[in-house]
Structure formats: C-alpha cells, structure tokens
C-alpha cells in the first residue's frame, strides 16, 4: 500500500487546516497531519475519533526513511504482518489499517504483475484494468484501490477482497486462505466494527514514539526542518 498515512492524510491537508482555522506557522506539523487524516476520513463518509495532539516535529527529514517504513505492494501476508508488528501493531490492526485502501489510487507499476500473472484474482476485474495498465509502459497510470466506491470511506475494500478483487498483491494477501481471512469477513459484514477499530488504530499510530518536551522541534515551515 502506498501508505496508510498517505491515503488518509495527503488528500485534504489544506482543507483540514483551513476548516479548523489552523495557522501553519503556529501549529505543529504533526498536528496538521493528524487532523487532516481524521477530517479526510470523516468528509468521505467515515466516523470520527479523538485525535491526540501534543507531538513535536522531528529534527530530521528523510524521504528514504519515510518510504522504507511503508509496506510494499508486493509483500506477502507474513511480510505485511511483520512490517506492522515492527511498529507495535497486532495482526487485527494490520487488517484494519489496510482498510485505508478503501480510498486512494495506485500506479500501474504497483499492480501490473498481479493483473497479468496472478491466479487469485477475479478474471473480469483483471481484464478491466489492463486497458489502463498495459503489460509494458504506462507505469504511472492510476487506478482506484477500491473500484467499488473509490471516493467513499467504507468497508467495500474487504468485500472486494472476498471477491478476489484486491488491486494490490499485498491487499489480496489479507484474504487468501490465511490467518486474516476471518477478520476480513468480519469487517466486510460489519462496517461499524471497522470504523471503530480503524479510529482506535489511528490513535495508536499517532502515539507511536512521540517527541515531547525538549525533544524535536516546532517547525516554522511544515515541509522542512528549522534552520539554525
């Protein structure tokens, strides 16, 4: 997945900060991301959760470090569970945070191998994607992670997995005869449970290794560390 955080934070960063009258020059960047994640989900049909604030920003910025912490779309189930476990999440939380793929887009290069080479995929679904994602070229062409309701935050992602319509290899791994099948079924059948657990997992994510007190900094420019 091209990022739990990317899917639910980047889309509405500007709208969220404006809606809450947050001044970028006065508020901590981490706060803006957390609020944007929450507000984007709510505005797209999800449920509210209490957003914890108080984190300070990092003294360093590294796109390489960020990207290395995002799960690859090519991971198998063991690898997917492992990368979340390394951050303190249990398997159930891996499944619920993957549900952020109910919104967002993925590049052809991230799912080409799945639609041309894998067998655990709905044939009609795979065929429908090939015109926009040819076997060669078009690497940056985009397709919705959730073809059913790509602009609504709902539990359709899990229903898609049950129908073998997961766009990414790593998505379909959550429902492929393994240990997470039952949780996928549970969220597919109960959207309220998904919304509740997703909110709880997002709070937990927001509390990972916080910088407080004199650690870190409050950035004057969200996109770069303070100079001097």
Question: Which residues have a Cβ under 8 Å from the Cβ of 160 and sit 6 or more positions away?
Answer: 146, 147, 148, 166
Q: Is-contact 24 222, C-beta < 8 A?
A: yes
Three-class HEC string of 154-200: CCHHHHHHHCCCCCCHHHHHHHCCCCCHHHHHHHHHCHHHHHHHHHH
pTM over 0.85: no
* Dihedral pair phi/psi, residue 102, rounded to 5°: -70, -15
Does the annotation flag 101 for ligand binding?
yes
Q: Is-contact 206 52, C-beta < 8 A?
A: yes
pLDDT at residue 100, rounded to an integer: 94
- One DSSP character per residue, 34-60 reads HHHHHHHHHHTT---------PPBPS-
The full set of domain ranges for the chain reads 4-206
pLDDT at residue 138, rounded to an integer: 97
Does the annotation flag 71 for ligand binding?
yes
pLDDT tens digits in sequence order for the chain, 228 residues long: 334 444 443 433 333 333 333 333 334 566 677 788 888 888 888 888 888 776 777 777 667 766 777 789 999 999 999 999 999 999 999 999 999 999 999 999 999 999 999 999 999 999 999 999 999 999 999 999 999 998 999 999 999 999 999 999 999 999 999 999 999 999 999 999 999 999 999 889 888 777 777 777 777 777 778 776
CA distance linking residue 129 with residue 104, whole number of Å? 16
pLDDT at residue 16, rounded to an integer: 36
Select 4-206's CATH number: 3.30.420.10, 1.10.150.120, 3.40.50.300, 1.10.420.10: 1.10.420.10
pLDDT at residue 6, rounded to an integer: 41
Does the annotation flag 127 for ligand binding?
no
Does the annotation flag 171 for ligand binding?
no
Q: Is-contact 79 51, C-beta < 8 A?
A: no
Does the annotation flag 139 for ligand binding?
no
pLDDT at residue 133, rounded to an integer: 98
SS3 108: helix
Roughly what angle, to the nearest 10 degrees, separates helices 191-206 and 29-43? 170
HSE toward the beta carbon, residue 210, CA cutoff 13 A? 17
């Amino acid at each position: 997945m091209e990022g739990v955080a990317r899917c639910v934070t980047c889309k509405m960063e500007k709208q969220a900060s404006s809606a809450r009258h947050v001044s970028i020059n006065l508020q901590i960047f981490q706060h803006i991301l957390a609020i944007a994640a929450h507000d984007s989900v709510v505005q797209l049909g999800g449920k509210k959760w209490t957003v914890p604030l108080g984190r300070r920003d990092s003294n360093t910025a590294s796109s390489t470090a960020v990207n290395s912490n995002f799960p690859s779309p090519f991971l198998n189930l063991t690898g997917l569970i492992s990368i979340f476990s390394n951050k303190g999440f249990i398997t159930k939380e891996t499944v619920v945070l993957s549900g952020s793929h109910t919104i967002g887009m993925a590049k052809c290069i991230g799912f080409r191998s799945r639609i041309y080479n894998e067998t655990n995929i709905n044939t009609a679904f795979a065929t429908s994607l090939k015109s926009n994602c040819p076997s060669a070229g078009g690497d940056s062409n985009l397709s919705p992670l959730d073809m059913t309701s790509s602009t609504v935050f709902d539990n359709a992602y899990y229903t898609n997995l049950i129908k073998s319509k997961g766009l990414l290899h790593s998505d379909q791994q959550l429902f492929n005869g393994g240990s997470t099948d039952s949780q996928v079924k549970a969220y597919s059948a109960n959207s309220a449970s998904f919304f509740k657990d997703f909110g709880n997992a997002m709070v937990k994510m927001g509390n990972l290794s916080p910088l407080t007190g004199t650690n870190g900094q409050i950035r004057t420019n969200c996109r770069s560390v303070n100079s001097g």
